[in-house]
Each structure stands twice: as structure tokens, then as C-alpha cells.
Amino acid sequence: MDPLSDWVQKLVASIWRVLGPPGKPLKNLLHGTVLLRHPLHPALTDVPIGAWTVGVVADVVAHFTDKVPEATGDIALAVGLVVALGSLITGYTDFADTYGNERRFGCAHGLLMTVVILIDTVSMGLRWFAGESLHPLALGFSMSGYALVALGAWYGGHVVLGSGYIVNRQAYLAGPTDWTSVGPASAVPGQGMHLVDAGGTQVLLARLDGRICALADVCTHAGGPLHEGTLVNGVVTCPWHGSRFRLRDGHVIGGPATFDQPQLSVRDTDGQLEVKLAEPPLG
């Protein structure tokens, strides 16, 4: 799957490059970084799967009985197709930032769901534009598509549950809840970032407007080391996928990350710095 995954990923990335800076707000929206502040793709996928389930059941009932109008399955299929297009776009947008095993499973998931949409589009066309004699063929297409949905959904679930993609990498952060010494304040440069260990938790320290701020160093998106990224105008950019966080409070302002970076409180006692978690990691 690697050569195919690489080609698809480069294709998606090239589309976003063509859109340039104006495409960044749209990309953030599709990731779910803005508005939802939660991955958008999984929120959309429930709608087409539910609609297509209703559609298949309605098609079978309408074919063998007169309990349900034939148009019920047509409408359910159409609703599923419309939302599935949004799901497809958000899925490929997320896929652009995958790597390794999650990229291989993500590619299989994406291509299978693309085939499902094509099959259901053919079914929709046969229902609307072909004669009644081809309606059973249209039903066959939609049922075949539904069978592939099950397989595609399994691959999609594995990307998240098996590979941990889009899961908040700081969800189980066991950072210091009591004040923990992390060294002298003089070690934090006037420009740039400084990495310290706070009782086993990697913490990024940096100065902003005369005070020292602290964030968990592991990026919530894919675990990138934030201290190896850049700090410009109070915004930390992850070196792996370009997620952007406000230094002062860890608020995510640019995807693909959708979860805030855990913030730590800092106090200076006679030139020695101490830190502790500012709030529960799941807040």
C-alpha cells in the first residue's frame, strides 16, 4: 500500500498547495480545528452510514411489500450521498497528515469509501433517469455499496482505534499536580524555547511579554516535539504537521490538531522555576 498511499497523499497535498494561504481557513474548518474543536470527519460519517442503512432496509421492504413507498430508499440514498461527499473531503484532508501504518490503513479506508460513493452515484442515476425495469439493478448497486461500507468502516475504525490517529495524545497526561522544580529561570532564553523534565513530563518553557509560559511538549495531534518547532509572535508551531498553539494558554489556532495543548502554571521562587498542571488534561 505504500506506493499508492504516497501517491494519494501527494495528490491531496498538491491540491492544498494550489489553494495557497486562502485555503488554510478552509483546511482548519475541514479538520474541525475551528467551530467544532473536534475532528469533523468522524462526526460526518455517521450520517451517510445511517441513511444508507435506512435506504437498504426501505428498498428491501418496498420491493417485497407495499408497506413503504419506493421513493423512501431513493431519498435515503440521496441524503447519504450528499453528506458522504463532505465526509470524503474531510477524510482526505485528514489523510494528508498521516504516516506509516495509519497512512496505509487510511488509504485503504479512503479508497473503499470513494468506490462506495461512485457505486451509490450509479444507483442514484439508475433510479432517477432509467426506466422502472432497471430499478432492481439500482437496488443491487446500492446493496453492493453497503457491503463495501462495512469493510471500509472497519478500516476507518482501525485507523483511529488501532493506530491512534486523531486521538488526543495528551488525553492521559499524568503531569505534575503539585509544584515541581524544573531548574533556574535564567535557563529560559529571551528568544526561543527551552525543554525541561517535570517529574517525567516533558515541558516546553518560553518567555512571552515578560513572563515565562509552560506547555506540555508533546503535540496533541500526533505526538510531535513542540520545542523543535518554531515560536513566532506567541504562537508555537509543531515541526511535524504544522499545528499551531498559543503559547500563553495552549489554545489550538491551526490544524491539523483539534485539541488544545495542556498548559502548566509557572512560579518563580528566588530564581528557581516550578510548574504544575494548570487544569485537568481532559478539560
Q: What pLDDT was estimated at residue 197?
A: 94
Distance of alpha carbon 165 from alpha carbon 185, whole angstroms: 36
Q: What pLDDT was estimated at residue 280?
A: 53
For residue 101, pLDDT over 80 is answered with yes
Please choose, from the candidates 234, 200, 230, 202, the residue with its C-alpha nearest in 3D space to the C-alpha of residue 216. 202
For residue 282, pLDDT over 60 is answered with no
Q: What pLDDT was estimated at residue 279?
A: 63
Domain ranges of the chain: 2-161, 180-277
Q: What b/e readout covers 143-178, taking b as 16+ CB neighbours within 10 angstroms?
A: bbbbeebeebbebbebbbeebebbbbbbeebebbee
Distance of alpha carbon 45 from alpha carbon 75, whole angstroms: 18
Helix, strand, or coil (residue 277): strand
Reported as a pLDDT band with limits 50, 70 and 90, residue 259 is very high
As a whole-number percent, the residues of the chain with pLDDT over 90 amount to: 72
Average pLDDT over all residues of the chain: 91
Q: Half-sphere exposure (CA, 13 Å, Cβ side) for 113?
A: 29
According to DSSP, the β-strands at 235-237 and 180-184 are: unpaired
Q: Which fold has domain 180-277?
A: Rieske Iron-sulfur Protein (2.102.10)
Mean pLDDT within 93-113: 92
Please choose, from the candidates 56, 49, 47, the residue with its C-alpha nearest in 3D space to the C-alpha of residue 138. 56
For residue 40, pLDDT over 80 is answered with yes
The pTM of the full predicted model, rounded to 2 decimals, is 0.85
Reported as a pLDDT band with limits 50, 70 and 90, residue 99 is confident
